[in-house]
Every structure is written in structure tokens, then in C-alpha cells.
Structure 1
Amino acid sequence: MARLAALAALVLTMAQAPAPKPAADVELWRLDCGGVQVNDLNAFSDTLAYSGQSKRLVASCYLIRHGSDYMLWDTGLPEAVIGQPVSNTDAMSPILTTTIKRQLAQIGVKPEQIGRVGISHYHFDHTGQAAGFPGATLLIGKGDADALSAGKPGTSAEPLKPWFGGGAKIEAIDADKDVFGDGSVTLLNLPGHTPGHHALLVVLKGKGPVLLSGDLAHFRENYDTNGVPPFNTDRAATLASLDRFKKLAGNVKATVILQHEPGDVAKLPAFPASAR
């Protein structure tokens, strides 16, 4: 009798629970946030897999519209890089020719309309233009937020001054995060490259799931062979995150976008067109 009463109570609770919200109209733009001339590709291999090789990478970032809300995912290289010469001798040389704000203006989006800035991790080529959106809530992995707050070696909170010392709203995330509460945009906790590294899953009604990698891997060969850069903060966590990401991509049949791989970024329409 007690079991029946408990079952009846459970059914009643489920019947009274609000129905899941339908996913809002979601749109995804790829933005040009710079590039990197890599003259020593072993910078991304702790097993020296790419001796004598070089590669031109992109530094992509993304605009997401969820209904009437706008979110940036990563913010590329700092505007100060514009006009700097490209080095053919430095291990890595940054390149930037335009800004996020200029691109937003092309599609009629004002900086103050950006309600959230999601950062995959604290490296300068992902945080460079974030400070141009101080009214947004910063979404960042808790491990990264803690490292920035503590001034750990290899970190700098300078590109994120509105949130670290400036009083702007910050949300430090130590797990996955369903950003809008309907499963359409989810930060994925994938540490290893940095302590709080995250990737992003965007579910589009037409194109389907899209996985934006952050810096889980930097280019296809690295991704396919589970390569680990020597500057990652945790090798074992990197490999576990790669395993999770690949299994998730296969299970949901996602389009995988390695954010530094030109061929992957090209899977999305060229700006100002968008994916839906």
C-alpha cells in the first residue's frame, strides 16, 4: 500500500511539473578573430610529432543568437595585433585584420546587445577582445577563474579586467552549463588544456548539433592522434576530455569544429551568412 501511495505521489508530481520549454530559434555565425602562423608545429606536441613542420591556423570565435539574446563564444586576438608584421621565425606569430565589433555592425548587432561572453579558456587568443563587452555576463570555467584570480604563472587577467577587478558580472562554471535552460547551447566541462577549459555544443534546428572545440585540439592531425601540447596543464585530463568529446560527437552526430583548423571552420557559412 505504501508503495502504491509513493507511486501515486510521483505521478502527481510529474503531472504538475512544467512542460519543457521549446527550443528558441538559434542562429550561429562564425567570426574572423584572427590567425596564427605557427613556424614550429612541435609547439603543439609533447611527443615531437611535427618536427620541421609549420602551419597557418585561424583564431575563430562565434556569435550565437538565441531568440532575442546574443552570446559570444571566445573573443579572439586583441585589437592591438592589427597591423603587426607576420614573423617567419617566431614559434608562433599572431595575425589580425578586423575586429568583432566591426563584424557585428555588418549584421546590425550593437555591442550592448551581447548579454553573455563565453570563454573556452584564459589564453590570450581567446580573450583578446572580451573587454569590449563589459555589460555582458562572463561565462568561464571555475578552474580558469581561480587561476586568474590567483595570478598563476602563464595567466593574465588583463584582457578580462571588467570582470576581474572591474565589478562586471561573472559566472564561474565547474561542470557543464545549459546556458538558456532548453538544451540548445551547452558549455561542456573538458579540462586539461587549462584547469577550467570548456567546449560548446550548439543545437541548430536545420544543421543539427555543432561542437565548438575551444582548444581541446588545435588541428585535425592533432585531434585524430590525441596529440597533447606541452603547455597543457594536465595531460591525463586532456586525454579524458578528448575521449568524452569524440564519443559525444559520435553519439549526437555533431558537426565538429576545431576552432583553430581552417578546414573545420569552413564547415560553417562564411560571414555574414549564418548557420541555423
Structure 2
Amino acid sequence: MRIVKTPAVCAIAVAFLALIAGAGAYAVQPRPQGLESPRLYVFDCGTLEGDPARFSFKREEMATTDMSVACYLVVHPNGALMWDTGAVPDKEVTSENQRARHHIVLTNTERYVTLAKSLKSQLAEAGYAPADIRYVAMSHYHYDHTANTNDFASATWLVRQVERDTMFADKPPDNLLRATFDRLRNSKTVIIETDDYDVFGDGSVVIKWAPGHTPGHQVLFVKLAKTGPVLLSGDLYHYPEERTLDRVPTFEFDPGQTRRTRAAIDAFLKKSRAQLWIQHDFMANAALKKGPAFYD
């Protein structure tokens, strides 16, 4: 992975800022007390530059081509769940609070992601370190959801067999970076065998099967006492226009299955009255409060 800084900064300044950031960026802060129901933290894991054609759009059909990259921490009285871990590994963040443009090279293409803060520094501000996380789950295996997954190898991995098999296949998909999650190979793992997986056993945090984008793609339902129920989309949608204009990306594992899954999730949203948070929706995500603030 190659990094391009914007704006340009001399090497001495970069080193100095990195030293300052490294000294205290990951100092874990005290956690909010009195947890009686789930809390949801949203972390800013960058902005991904999108290509309209890959999502079956013309530029003029879209409000923006930028996509947010969001990471989420769900804190429950019985433990914490990390959901999606970003597009850029923390080791590539040379200084906190300074935006840098990162060049990500995949097998058959390249992408650019701009971000200012590491995931671990944002976790620390909320009072957590990777070692404090009980469970880790990704919506799916694409590179922009797995960048820091190795940091959570001590957690229990929640995954579907078909997704795991694809992640460690001899010939993996093009938009996967195995080096970002390879340590999960030997992690304690729960293979999810049901459509719905109740993470903590009380119905408040449920992983739902949502295949199509990848073979074992999944979404996350969180029942919040004050905010109300929320469904984190994974990559069921990337842009809100995919819903309003009925478009499916060109790189789905199974486009027909994606359409069927979208219909099923729409029915669930109506029944549960949950808000759909499209994880890559740049403008909607920008309006959400970020950690260490939280939703409860």
C-alpha cells in the first residue's frame, strides 16, 4: 500500500507529528459507566473515492461519488462487538488528525481512501483497546471492511462458513486483501448456521444473513433504547440512489440474490421499524455523531 500525503508536508514535520501522535494516541480513556443497554459507537475510518460506473450509475445521477468508510463498536452489558474494521491499516496512519490520501493496490485495480485518524486511537478515546473486544464480525470480506481485523484476532470471530471458505481459498477474489485478516485463521470462531444470529442472547444485537454482494454477506441489527432499532447495511447498498433508482453494482457475487436479499431486508425494516444506516452513504454518515460520543 502506497501513501500520498495531501497537503505536502516535509519529512521532518511528518516525523515530529508522528512522534507526538504515537506518544498518547492510543492511551485508553475511562469508559462511560452505568451501561444497562447497548451503545453504538460510529468511527470515521475514511472517505473512499468511488467510480459511478461500477455501481451502474452515471455521475449526474448521484449526489456524490464519495463513500464513507465507517467502523462500528457495539457495547453490550455482556461484552463488546467490533463490526467492520476499515479500509486502511492503522500502521499506515503516520500521524493522527492529519488527513492523508492512501493508495490501495488490489489484484486488478486500485483505490484511494483519505482519512485522518487510526481506528485504535478512536477506540481508545471511547475507552477500549482491541484486547477488550469480545467479538469481531465483518459484513463481508472486501478490503474496505477488513483493514484492521488482525488487531482483533484475540476476539471470537462470528462468520458464515461460505464466507470464511472464500476468504481463505487458494484463489481468493480480486477485491480481498488477505494480509489484513490472516490472523483470524487461528482465532476462536463461531460458524453462524442460521439466518439470524443473536450475539448476546437477548435480541438486542442480531447478525442477519444478507447474501448477494458476497456469498456470506451479513448485516447488523442493533436495538437501542433511546435511538430505536438500527440496521447497519454492510454493502447491501453503497449509495442511497441504489434504493431510489433500483441499481445493483456490477461486481456483485450474485446480482439476483442481492435483489432478493434487498426485498427481504426491506420487509424486515417495515416490520421492525428500524432505521437503515447505509454504511457507505457519505452524507448520511457525515451527519452521525462519531466516537467517543455514542448512540444508546
Q: TM-score, normalised by structure 1?
A: 0.82
**Aligned position for 2:38:** 26
Question: Is there any run of 5+ residues in structure 2 with no aligned partner, and where?
Answer: 1-34, 94-99
Note if contact 1:138-1:171 (Cα within 8 Å) is conserved in structure 2: yes
**2:84 matched residue in structure 1:** 74
The counterpart of 1:135, out of the listed 138, 144, 154, is: 154
- The answer as to 2:53 corresponding to 1:42 is yes
1:163 is the counterpart of 2:209: no
Contact 2:147-2:180 within 8 A present in 1 as well: yes
Which residue pairs with 1:62 in the alignment? 72
Structure 1 residue 86 displacement after superposition: 7.1
> Judging changes above 3 Å, is the alpha-carbon distance between structure 1 residues 265 and 141 closer, same or farther for their aligned structure 2 residues?
farther
Q: Which amino acid is 2:290 matched to?
A: A
Alignment of 1:1-276 (within 5 A): 25-38=37-50, 40-45=51-56, 49-51=57-59, 55-79=65-89, 82=93, 83-84=100-101, 92-151=111-170, 152-154=172-174, 155-164=176-185, 167-174=186-193, 175-266=195-286, 268-276=288-296
The AA in structure 1 aligned to 2:77 is G
Taking the aligned partners of 1:156 and 1:110, their CA distance within structure 2 comes to 23
Supply the AA of the counterpart residue of 1:62: Y
Determine helix, strand or coil for the equivalent of 1:71: strand
Identity of matched residues, %: 33
One-letter amino acid of the counterpart of residue 163, structure 1:
L
Which protein is bigger by CA-based radius of gyration?
Answer: 1
Distance (whole Å) between structure 1 residues aligned to residue 196 and residue 243 of structure 2 = 22
Moved beyond 3 Å, runs of 4+ = 51-54, 80-87
Letter in 1 for 2:54: A
Superposed displacement of residue 211, structure 1? 0.5
Gaps of 5+ in 1: 1-22
| 8 Å CA contact retained: 2:44, 2:290 | no
Instruction: Write out per-residue CA displacement over residues 25-82 of structure 1, whole angstroms, 9 at most, x where no aligned residue.
Output: 11001011112012x311112xxx3256661111101011001511111001122554
| Superposition RMSD in Å | 2.2
Aligned length: 246
Q: TM-score, normalised by structure 2?
A: 0.77
